[in-house]
Structure 1
Amino acid sequence: KNSSLCLELFVYGVFSFNVFLLPGSIYFISSHGNKEYAYLLCVGMHGESGADAKCPPQNNTAINFFCNYEESRGNFLVDVDGNRMLDVYTQIASIPIGYNHPALLKVVSDPNNASAFVNRPALGILPPESFVDKLTEGLLTVAPKGLNRVQNMACGSCSNENAYKAMFIWYRNKERGTSIPSDADLSSCMINQLSILSFSGAFHGRTMGCLATTHSKPIHKLDVPSFDWPIAPFPRLQYPLDEHVRENAQEEARCLEETEDLIVKWRHKGMPVAGVVIEPIQAEGGDNHASAAFFISLRKIASKHGCAFHVDEVQTGGGATGRFWAHEHWGAEDPADIVSFSKKLLTGGFFYRDEMETDKPYRIFNTWMGDPSKNLLLAEVLNVIRQENLLAEVTRTGKALLGGLYELQAKYPNLLSRARGQGTFCAIDVCKASVRDKLILQARDNGVILGGCGDLSIRFRPALIFKEHHVHMFLNVFSDLLAAHK
């Protein structure tokens, strides 16, 4: 009642808020179904500073809503108002077996595991006695074909960042051997003379090296300088695939030709391509797919020119495509030199082949080098995946999800197009970004959490325990929203 101004805003085209500007305060009011919530975002707007100001301790403008994780279960996320929502986005594809899974709660409550959760060691210099055994029992049981070694990290960005360093080190060691670097090596290392080739639409992280290979959204790169590294075109396939076989083959051939030309061009510039990095499905960039033949040919081009081949499985890894690693769908005998991971694996890092091992300590290094407690949780996640045959379940559920998207696409051709996916790792395009964003907001208000990607896409990233009846719950809500769209 005391507000001096009330505005209704559409923030980034996604979340609808009423904003009340009170004396010294800003409140955001939003709705969940029939409920409303209000959050004080900032106080002290009238010149207060220092100890008198009570502004948030960090930028909070990306926050969607606050959650009650204690009450969340399985495929359902609960917000602070008690609204129970079917989560088809799962914290940006990072929840493997749902919220508060009993098997994981048991790991956390086991007194024998208390030390791992309380004491976080600097693993690179002082690992716990059981560390090697835990790696062998956990991460190494899912090592990709031909990759016998693993380096722990934390998030996806630091996993990729250090994988890039490993490729650079491998490339130079291949040239000169692992002997003591010459004076010329030591002086030339102070300027960047190698490069990583990435692809348009890619997302590999937000740290400096990763950001140089990220090309999905301008806001990620705004104001931040970057390296002069080559960017190759990623195929833009036409759908339905079976109706555009010739056109898509030509598109992939064009992209492969341009990729090889860039590798040669950068060598002539004196900045040889040490590695090629690519996602099996470009997730953040719009769920962009390519054929197995494309990836196998790209791998051959990289090998032909002496470049390491890095497959970024940060979002695709962990089973969502129906295989533990999305690159397994290629059927390649020698798929990669490095495979990075994070998200559904609860920890980060990269697998690599023997010859990619760094020759000296501290070259791939940080304080923590991962987290042993996450390895404990991951080992139990892998047990659940095997015991419950979840990869087969994902394949079945994915067929139901993609089939439902095909039906809706046929029913609403003016709204939806390009339904696509592997397993439950699916997406569909909407006619306009504003319509896409409105549908995501309306779905949330009707109890379903979705996420966007690329310019026009809605992406689906459920947990591995997502069943066919959950698919039908989602489809019922989504169908009603489409029918009501004007």
Structure 2
Amino acid sequence: MRAGVRASTMRASPMAIRPMASATTPKKATAAAAMQQQPPTEMFDQPFFPDEPYGPIVRTSIPGPESKKAIAHLDKVFDTRSLNMMANYTKSLGNYIADLDGNVLLDVYAQIASIPVGYSNPSLLLASTSPAMASAMINRPALGNFPQHDWAEILETGVLRVAPPGMNQVFTAQAGSDANELAYKAAFMWKRSQERGGADVPFTEEEMSSSMNNALPGSPHMSIMSFATGFHGRLFGSLSTTRSKPIHKLDIPAFDWPQAPFPALKYPLEQHIEENKAEEQRCLDEAERVMTTYHNPVAGIVIEPVQSEGGDNHASPAFFRGLREITKKHNILMIVDEVQTGVGATGKFWAHEHWNLQHPPDMVTFSKKAQTAGYYFGNDELRPNKPYRQFNTWMGDPARAILFRAIIDEIERLDLVRNTAETGAYLFSGLENLAQRFPGEVLNLRGKGQGTFIAWDSPRRDEVLKKAKGVGINIGGSGERAVRLRPMLIFQKKHADIFLEGMEKVFSS
């Protein structure tokens, strides 16, 4: 973990938040109690949010009557068909999300993995009400043309302070899809610059005129290779690399870009070592074949450390190391999509740090828990050779960069990456116990050693998600049948106990 100041308790809240009514402290979860307790670890026995509820509160069905009224109202002006629950964020605190009917749920989904340090975090409120934030909000600059005077300082003390190893530059963006698209553009410009003979070689008249007609040579036939069941966003370029669900892609024109297979590992891993090794080698061989033979030459590949939307699919560090060696061998860029895995969720600040790469990735994209977006890089050649090639009006958002800086401060102050690693190990052990007791409910449990980035397959996944709300837990799914956990970095062992007890009730029902 990067150096930071530790503290045993949350700062006194500057917020005008009244503590929510709390349910009676729940008994220690049966499943958790059945496993050997780990000894206390320094500060992690102390609550990060002393005023948060002791446990979930379920007063009505979900949605309840007040929520149903609000949903009907919203549906008149906004599409609510994907709605999970109608939330009341003024009453949500720490690890708990509230609705309009007095229900308060332990949230292990966290806005699709995008809330890092808790609802209504007082430290983030301080940052959000600062003069610097107010100026950034009301004077939002067009950063490419009119950057604010302290933009370099904001980046250096925030976004770049946690840059992945081997990277010292960043291109900021609006969202995860945007970050990936910009990384793809950087890859194409880099590749064409190499083919042209270097950044100083001028564009030809033919290149410039043909680009206006989307034709060769100005619009070259190149591609980004992605992996089956991967997800990288819903804009046109990012959608062309998304392979998780047809509903994302139907009716949308797509680029002629290739995909390679992602390893389909068997679990438990220790019982299928040779089979999984062979599967990963098969995928590496096919990836190299595609990279070197596809009719639209591959400029770069994009891959997630854990395929989140596609079903929480994992691969070993050896697989990713092998993939990196192939890209280096063939002069192809490697883009690691850390939009969902980044910022501490896997027990490392960046999930690809688990791989122990000899050569760092060429670019790492980020968003979600960072509350801002962009891509990191370290090679100066990935800067376009001309201005306005990587450009839009805002090129990011100083307000969100300031918020990310406050998030980083909070992560370091409370040592939350280490907390996530330790809590994740405790949680995984509890789930292993449940898997032994309910073998038909918890299949292919995965994510060991990956912090709280844990998932399993369920034969009745949608029913499990619905029943979980009835016992006070908000949880999400991915792929066709995966239940995925995405708690916040402030998720502690006491929350894991509540979660395990709730899941035991669901599995027993």
TM-score by length of 2: 0.84
Q: CA deviation at 1:109?
A: 2.2
The whole-number CA distance in structure 2 between the counterparts of 1:97 and 1:255 is 37
1:39 — aligned with what? 69
Are the counterparts in 1 of residues 63 and 86 from structure 2 also a CA contact under 8 Å? no
Deviation at 1:164, TM superposition (A): 0.3
Query: Alignment partner for residue 344 of structure 1, among 369, 383, 387?
Result: 369
Deviations 1:438-461 (A, max 9, x none): 110111122110000011100000
Query: Is the alpha carbon distance of 1:127 and 1:404 closer, same or farther for their aligned partners in structure 2, counting shifts above 3 Å?
Result: same
Correspondent of 2:389 among 363, 366, 387: 363
Structure with greater strand percent: 1
CA distance in 2, matches of 1:427, 1:331: 23
Name the Cα RMSD after superposition. 1.7
Equivalenced residues, count: 439
Pairing partner for 1:92 from 112, 119, 123 = 112
Distance in structure 1 (CA, Å) of the matches to 2:135 and 2:303: 38
1:83 has 2:103 as partner: yes
Secondary structure at the aligned position of 2:69 is classed as strand
How many angstroms apart in 1 are the aligned matches of 2:310 and 2:247? Answer: 13
Q: How does 1:129-144 map to 2 (within 5 A)?
A: 129-144=149-164
**Structure 2: any 5+ residue segments left out of the alignment?**
1-59, 211-215
Q: Give the aligned partner of residue 277 of structure 2.
A: 249
Q: Secondary structure at the match of 1:310?
A: strand
Q: Is the contact made by 2:71 and 2:86 (CA closer than 8 Å) also made in structure 1? A: no
Secondary structure in 1 aligned to 2:461? helix
Paired amino acid for 1:31? S
Which aligned pairs between 1:331-480 and structure 2 lie closer than 5 A?
331-353=356-378, 354-421=380-447, 422-431=450-459, 435-480=460-505
Map of 1:182 onto structure 2: 204
Shift of 1:384: 1.1
- Aligned residues of 1:76 and 1:87 also touching (Cα < 8 A): yes
TM-score calculated relative to the size of structure 1:
0.87
> In 2, distance between residues paired with 1:303 and 1:79?
50
Letter in 1 for 2:117: I
Describe the superposition over 1:72-110 as per-residue Cα deviations: whole angstroms up to 9, x where unpaired: 110001112221110000000000101011101111222
Secondary structure in 1 matching 2:68: strand
Cα distance, 1:192 vs. partner?
A: 4.5
Select the structure with the greater relative contact order (CA < 8 A; seq sep ≥ 6): 2
Worse overlay, 289-298 or 107-116: 107-116
The answer to whether the Cα contact below 8 Å between 1:31 and 1:37 also exists between their aligned partners in 2 is no
Asked whether the equivalents of residues 63 and 85 of structure 2 are also in contact (C-alpha less than 8 Å), the reply is: no
The structure 2 residue matched to 1:290, chosen from 280, 302, 315, is 315
Shift of 1:111: 3.3
**How far apart are the structure 1 equivalents of 2:430 and 2:244?**
28
1:243-268 superposed Cα distances (whole Å, 9 cap, x missing partner): 111000000000000111111221xx
* Whole-angstrom CA distance in 1 between matches of 2:139 and 2:66: 41
- Are 2:190 and 1:164 equivalent residues in the alignment? no
Deviations 1:10-34 (A, max 9, x none): xxxxxxxxxxxxxxxxxxxx92398
Question: Shift in Å at residue 112 of structure 1?
Answer: 4.5
Give 5+ residue unaligned stretches, structure 1: 1-29, 44-53
- 8 Å CA contact 2:118–2:490 kept in 1: the answer is yes
Provide the C-alpha distance between the structure 1 equivalents of 2:440 and 2:110, rounded to a whole number of angstroms: 29
Aligned-residue offset at 1:225 = 1.6
Identity %: 47
1:216 alignment counterpart: 244
82, 95, 106: which one aligns with 2:126: 106
What letter is aligned with 2:68? A
